[in-house]
Amino acid sequence: MDPQLLIKLVLLLGLGAIALLILWPGRGARRLALRRISLLFLVACAAVAVVFPQLSNAVATLFGVGRGADLLLYGLVVCFVGYVIATRAHHSRVDLQVTELARAQALARAVEPGSMRG
């Protein structure tokens, strides 16, 4: 059995969770609460890693990773991928809103055929 199987599963589950949060429809309070709780959990994990660096080595060994720094890097990669996907989705929504607004404004200022504005 692969000694790194556990960390592979954890990282894949993390990426899957990020994908579900991104693709899950809805903009309500529940989704906002999930985002805030996830961010709070991430900050708490970072604080624990700073205060107790030896703990990150122990957790890394538990997951089959050589060092705590490697484990932190893997976690950072998962968080970065989630951030990039979320940012891209947000920019796509904003682009769509700007396009709709520009289209509505163009239609509101349109001149009827045959009439001259001047």
Q: Could you tell me the residue ranges of all domains in the chain? A: 5-80
Per-residue pLDDT at 118 exceeds 60: no
48-58 pLDDT per residue, tens:
888 888 999 99
Confirm if 88 and 77 have CB atoms less than 8 A apart.
no
Give pLDDT, residue 6: 83
Query: DSSP letter string over 60-78?
Result: HHHHT-S-HHHHHHHHHHH
Would residue 112 be called left, alpha or beta, if left means φ above 0 and alpha means ψ between -120 and 50 degrees? beta
Instruction: Please report which confidence band the pLDDT of residue 106 belongs to, taking 50, 70 and 90 as the band edges.
Output: very high
Give pLDDT, residue 26: 65
Per-residue pLDDT at 87 exceeds 70: yes
Per-residue pLDDT at 68 exceeds 70: yes
Instruction: Please report which confidence band the pLDDT of residue 99 belongs to, taking 50, 70 and 90 as the band edges.
Output: very high
pTM as predicted: 0.66
Give pLDDT, residue 76: 87
Centroid of chain to Cα 43: 15
Give pLDDT, residue 22: 67
HSE, CB side, 13 Å, CA atoms: give it for residue 10.
16
Select the more confidently predicted residue: 39 or 117: 39
